[in-house]
Amino acid sequence: MSPRVNLDKEAILKIAADIADRDGLEAVTIATLAKKLNIKSPSLYNHFDGMNDLRVHMAIYGMNELYNSLINATIGVAGEEAIHCFAEAYITFARSHHGLYDAITQISLEKDERLQVAGDKTVELVSRVLGTYKINKEEEIHIVRGLRSMLHGFASIEKNGGFGLPVDTDESLRNMVDIYLLGIQKYRNTEI
């Protein structure tokens, strides 16, 4: 094997994400990654402190990729339309990058400050999207947690083949978000 020129952390993570998306997160090992990169396994230790460090970096990479998808989907839209665009982008990312999505969801944000920073960007984006609702910070946290839980649950059930009925899942997603938005409106109306 000849050494690969211009091999940096970002390039390695992109290849790791491709392997994860194609074959599953468990398929990403130091050995399989080195083979795909046409390098010797020890060369990867110049970039990562082992498998756990690689997984943390994959999660950060994934969070940044997800954030980019979400920001692109919500630029120029507001209110309910922005929340629908956010939800559709989130689910599209989970569908297209199921291995990378697993990397994001299987690493605890509390274990690494870099993960927390990457995750906070997405939370801040949701806060901006929810800005038209004029809710206080504590209410916002509950609403953000609800949206995240709802979307993650949808993505996980869909990935595991749990939506077996012959009904369009995109329509189910739209309906779910509409019902969620009605819940926010009802909650706000009872608080006023």
Task: Answer for the pair 66, 58: CB distance below 8 angstroms, yes or no.
Answer: no
Position 151 in a domain: yes
Neighbours of 170 (CB within 10 A): 10
160-181 pLDDT, tens per residue? Answer: 999 999 999 999 999 999 999 9
98-145 pLDDT, tens per residue? Answer: 999 999 998 876 667 888 888 889 889 988 888 777 788 888 889 999
Q: CATH number of the domain at 150, please.
A: 1.10.357.10
d(CA 111, CA 52): 11
**pTM score > 0.85 for this model?**
yes
Range of the domain at 77: 60-191
Overall number of domains in the chain:
1
Position 39 in a domain: no
Position 7 in a domain: no
